[in-house]
């Protein structure tokens, strides 16, 4: 092999891992946020708080209505477009393709950041700890703490509220219901949901300072405001 060809091949081989890394770490890296160091551990099995949380879930289960179950089942979907009921009828993936892709990237990044924390604590789901808990939503296949849905709902609501400050109150109220629906559904303890709210807030704070994120955020914000008929900011 000629020296120049060999150098060119080495150059390409050096580049390949970098492309993969760039794709994997869009916006943030795992090294930037270490949730096992930031979040308190979940209540221990058999502790007074854990028993209290279980009683809360049993009470919610006893009081949930068909409408509450339907709401929890619909919110099992992790999509920014679950906020359409407070944002507007035109807030759809079909009308907002850039925004749909943008929030999908945010969801993947949040999942990647949260994964080590779930594995670290490996908290069993409520229904695994108590056969009296009967979920009305699909049973997830991963650990309970922190809640991925709560994390996603929180970071999504913060980003969306920054796009639509005039709808901030409605968006944050909707995020609160989105989080609560994981308890109503019987798949998360209150402390799982609270940890997810904290995790989502931390992720959003980091994202809003990231230059690559800011660029995509601005483009998606313009798309959303245009489709909703709102003035550009």
* pLDDT tens profile 198-211: 999 999 999 999 88
Contact of 160 with 230, CB cutoff 8 Å: no
Instruction: Quickly state the pLDDT bin for 26 (edges 50, 70, 90).
Output: low
Q: Nearest-CA neighbor of 207 among 160, 172, 170? A: 160
Instruction: Quickly state the pLDDT bin for 90 (edges 50, 70, 90).
Output: very high
**pTM of the full predicted structure?**
0.87
Q: pLDDT tens digit string along 92-140?
A: 999 999 999 999 999 999 999 999 999 999 999 999 999 999 999 999 9
What's the mean pLDDT in 12-30? Answer: 43
pLDDT of residue 27: 72
CATH number of 66-227, picked from 2.40.10.10, 1.20.144.10, 3.50.50.60, 3.40.1160.10: 1.20.144.10
Contact of 147 with 193, CB cutoff 8 Å: yes
pLDDT(69) > 60? yes
User: How is the chain split into domains, by residue range?
Assistant: 66-227
């Amino acid at each position: 092999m000629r020296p120049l060809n060999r150098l060119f091949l080495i150059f390409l081989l050096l580049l390949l891992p970098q492309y993969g890394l760039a794709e994997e770490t869009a916006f943030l890296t795992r090294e930037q946020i270490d949730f096992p160091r930031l979040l308190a551990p979940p209540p221990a099995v058999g502790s007074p708080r854990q028993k209290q949380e279980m009683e809360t879930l049993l009470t919610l289960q006893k009081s949930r209505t068909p409408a509450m179950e339907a709401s929890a089942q619909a919110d099992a979907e992790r999509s920014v477009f679950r906020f359409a009921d407070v944002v507007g009828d035109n807030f759809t993936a079909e009308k907002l393709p850039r925004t749909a892709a943008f929030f999908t990237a945010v969801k993947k990044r949040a999942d990647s950041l949260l994964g080590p924390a779930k594995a670290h604590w490996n908290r069993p789901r409520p229904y695994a700890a108590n056969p009296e808990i009967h979920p009305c939503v699909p049973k997830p296949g991963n650990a309970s703490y922190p809640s991925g849905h709560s994390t996603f709902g929180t970071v999504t609501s913060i980003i969306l509220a920054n796009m639509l400050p005039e709808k901030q109150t409605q968006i944050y109220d909707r995020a609160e219901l989105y989080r609560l629906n994981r308890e109503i559904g019987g798949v998360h303890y209150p402390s799982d949901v609270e940890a997810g709210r904290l995790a989502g807030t931390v992720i959003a704070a980091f994202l809003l300072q990231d230059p690559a994120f800011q660029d995509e955020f601005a483009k998606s914000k313009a798309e959303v405001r245009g489709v909703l008929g709102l003035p550009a900011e």
